[in-house]
């Protein structure tokens, strides 16, 4: 092999092994949340999440798409969240085109903890850049305050019961205390397809949603159907998912450029009624609205989520009983 051919081969190998890394260093991915994450609480208000992808010159990339995945916080070491089955599960997977280097959507965080948002930028030539963002959502301070009041109330109840039963029924006090503990433990423990026609009945918005169960993502798919050239029509799609009982929007994208169809994997985090609505603005002035109500199947929380809390409350009651009995014995005759 000649020296010239050898030099060309070495240059090719160097560009192959190191070119993608240097290109990746020229791509920056930024995330902005509004309101700021520090101001958000579980099921308070939806956050508007905006991704910005820029080149080495700081200008937004003109073309490309982002593949987005969101994972729920891992289970806590003691107290579970309001939705234990959601902990550590996959919440969202979607693929969004960039508009002036940006992708934007709304999301309502369901539980406290640190979420993990993974973003993969895919350039038109297939090259990829990955980045992970940790998103911390704090618990509402009011809930911790109410938990404290409830704990103090259980302790006081145990103390009063200890004093009363220690005096009145000395021969069966152990049996009564056991019954009280058991009673308190009982108290503590206790796809359809839709389509709508508008305009001149040329096009249809087709919405499909897989059966939804808490703890598992469901596929939500919208597509344009109708005339033979429907798949070639340009569409701006607005898709919203709303929790009917709470009256809150849990997910939304607005005027997303879509070709033929749009699909995402979305987890409905509690067993309730949701409404999925899609509004498509088709090139030519037509507007297609499609919506569907779905009932999400709830699942009984696992024992690991209930036992620590029940055990904690039983211990509080037992301490109250012990203090009540001690106060009665220590009282002067």
pLDDT at 184 over 90: no
pLDDT at 229 over 70: no
**pLDDT tens-digit readout, 294-314:** 999 877 666 555 556 666 566
Nearest to 248 by CA among 41, 90, 78, 63: 41
What the block records as the tokens of 232 is 């070639």
What the block records as the tokens of 88 is 């550590």
* SS3 state of residue 104: strand
CA distances from 69 to 19, 95, 105, 200, 270 (A): 27, 9, 13, 38, 20
- Do 193-295 and 26-137 fall under one CATH topology? yes
Give the count of beta carbons closer than 10 Å to the beta carbon of residue 171.
Answer: 6
Average pLDDT over residues 99-104: 93
Whole-number mean pLDDT of the chain? 76
**pLDDT tens-digit readout, 150-183:** 566 666 666 666 667 665 444 444 454 444 444 4
**pLDDT tens-digit readout, 247-303:** 999 999 999 998 888 999 999 998 899 999 999 988 777 888 999 999 998 776 665
Model confidence at 80, in pLDDT bands (50, 70, 90)?
A: low
Average pLDDT over residues 89-102: 94
Write the class of the CATH domain 193-295.
mainly beta
Average pLDDT over residues 85-89: 87
Give the count of beta carbons closer than 10 Å to the beta carbon of residue 70.
Answer: 21
Domain boundaries, the chain: 26-137, 141-190+309-330, 193-295
pLDDT at 190 over 70: no
CA distance 320 to 204: 65
CA distance 278 to 151: 45
Q: Determine the Cα angle at 291 with ends 200 and 199, to 5°.
A: 10
324: left (phi over 0), alpha (psi -120 to 50) or beta: alpha
* SS3 state of residue 317: helix
Which helix (H) or strand (E) segment is 49 a member of? strand 47-54
Ordered strands of the 273-282 beta sheet: 28-34, 47-54, 102-107, 248-259, 234-243, 273-282, 286-295
What the block records as the tokens of 228 is 């033979």
Residue that wins the pLDDT comparison between 172 and 118: 118
The reported pLDDT for the residue numbered 248 is: 94
Looking at domain 26-137, what is its CATH homologous superfamily? Macroglobulin (MG2) domain (2.60.40.1930)
């Amino acid at each position: 092999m000649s020296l010239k051919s050898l030099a060309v081969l070495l240059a090719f190998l160097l560009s192959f092994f190191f070119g993608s890394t240097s290109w990746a260093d020229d791509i920056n991915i930024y995330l902005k949340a509004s309101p700021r994450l520090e101001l958000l609480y579980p099921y308070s208000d939806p956050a508007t999440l905006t991704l910005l992808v820029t080149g080495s010159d700081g200008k937004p990339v003109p073309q490309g798409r982002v593949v987005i995945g969101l994972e729920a916080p891992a289970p806590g070491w003691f107290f579970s969240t309001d939705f234990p089955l959601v902990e550590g599960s996959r919440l969202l997977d979607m693929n969004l085109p960039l508009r002036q280097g940006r992708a934007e959507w709304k999301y309502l965080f369901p539980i406290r903890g640190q979420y993990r948002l993974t973003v993969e930028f895919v350039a038109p030539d297939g090259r990829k850049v990955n980045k992970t963002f940790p998103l911390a959502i704090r618990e509402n301070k009011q809930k911790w305050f109410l938990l404290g009041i409830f704990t103090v109330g259980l302790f006081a109840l145990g103390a009063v019961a200890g004093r009363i039963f220690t005096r009145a029924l000395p021969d069966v006090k152990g049996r009564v205390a056991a019954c009280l503990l058991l009673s308190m433990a009982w108290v503590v423990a206790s796809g359809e397809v839709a389509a709508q026609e508008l305009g001149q009945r040329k096009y249809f918005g087709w919405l499909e949603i897989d059966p939804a169960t808490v703890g598992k993502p469901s596929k939500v798919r919208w597509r344009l159907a109708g005339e033979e050239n429907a798949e070639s029509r340009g569409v701006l799609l607005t898709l919203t998912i709303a929790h009917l009982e709470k009256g809150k929007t849990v997910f939304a994208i607005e005027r997303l450029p879509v070709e033929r169809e749009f699909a995402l994997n979305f987890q409905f985090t509690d067993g309730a009624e949701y409404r999925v609505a899609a509004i498509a603005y088709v090139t030519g002035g037509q507007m297609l609205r499609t919506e569907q109500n779905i009932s999400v199947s709830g699942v009984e929380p696992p024992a690991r989520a209930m036992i620590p809390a029940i055990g904690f409350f039983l211990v509080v009651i037992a301490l109250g009983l012990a203090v009540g009995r001690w106060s009665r014995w220590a009282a002067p005759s």
